[in-house]
Chains A and B, each alone.
Chain A
Amino acid sequence: AQTVTQSQPEMSVQEAETVTLSCTYDTSESDYYLFWYKQPPSRQMILVIRQEAYKQQNATENRFSVNFQKAAKSFSLKISDSQLGDAAMYFCAYRYNTDKLIFGTGTRLQVFP
């Protein structure tokens, strides 16, 4: 069975600094998708970034980038130039084919001015 593990329950970062959130996963599949979702307090979950496993190049979306290590089954999220609005729960998620998402337990990110 596929699993997703986020080992950092909480992280904090100073405004304008860089922070990295960790995620590991387990699967026997070779072709799959990985996602980072952001869930602000009392607001809905939104997609931050996605990575196709067949792509070697790490995905980037503005200040957000990933470090995808397929052999190590690692998928970390780097947030550069952190902003107060980045404070939220961040969930790492795995999807095989067009199937359901499997989420980790989340990392709460606090951003200090």
Chain B
Amino acid sequence: DTGVSQNPRHKITKRGQNVTFRCDPISEHNRLYWYRQTLGQGPEFLTYFQNEAQLEKSRLLSDRFSAERPKGSFSTLEIQRTEQGDSAMYLCASSSGRMTDTQYFGPGTRLTVL
């Protein structure tokens, strides 16, 4: 069990550029979640997957955001035409999906949009 990993850990980009983040969940976990955390706030839910199926998307996830989880393994979160308001920590978590299970978080990707 190597835990949830996320890459890159930091990303600085210019407004209008596209960025993509990757999350590798714990290997036996079939649920994968994306959250966004801005400074001084708690994480806010963006979307989640059960295997390769995207089951729910938050209203926070505008049409510039897209997430995928091909083959039910790793997931990518892409932001197109980044805006300064997209600057945040993007957290990934995974769980087994059982009622009693816990979500385990990765270290996050900190995005700064200049």
Contacts and interface: CB of A to CB of B under 8 A. Distances in A.
> Which of A44, A97, A105, A106 has most B Cβ within 10 Å?
A44
A101 B106 CA distance: 15
Sorting the interface of chain B by its residue count into under 10, 10 to 19, 20 to 34 or 35 or more gives 20 to 34
Nearest to A37: B105
B41 A102 contact: no
Interface string B80-114: 00000000000101010111111111111000000
Contacts of A93: 42
A102 B97 contact: no
B31 interface: yes
B105 to A, nearest CB: 4
A105 B100 CA distance: 24
B43 interface: yes
A37 B42 CA distance: 10
Contacts of A47: 102, 104
Interface string A34-68: 01010000011111001010000000000000000
Given A98-B31, A101-B103, A91 B56 contact: no
B108 A100 contact: no
Interface of B: 31, 33, 35, 40-45, 48, 56, 91, 93, 95, 97-108
Given A50-B102, A101-B93, A102-B45, 18 more contacts: A35-B102, A37-B105, A44-B106, A45-B43, A45-B91, A45-B105, A46-B105, A47-B102, A52-B100, A98-B31, A98-B99, A100-B33, A101-B35, A103-B43, A104-B42, A105-B42, A106-B40, A106-B41
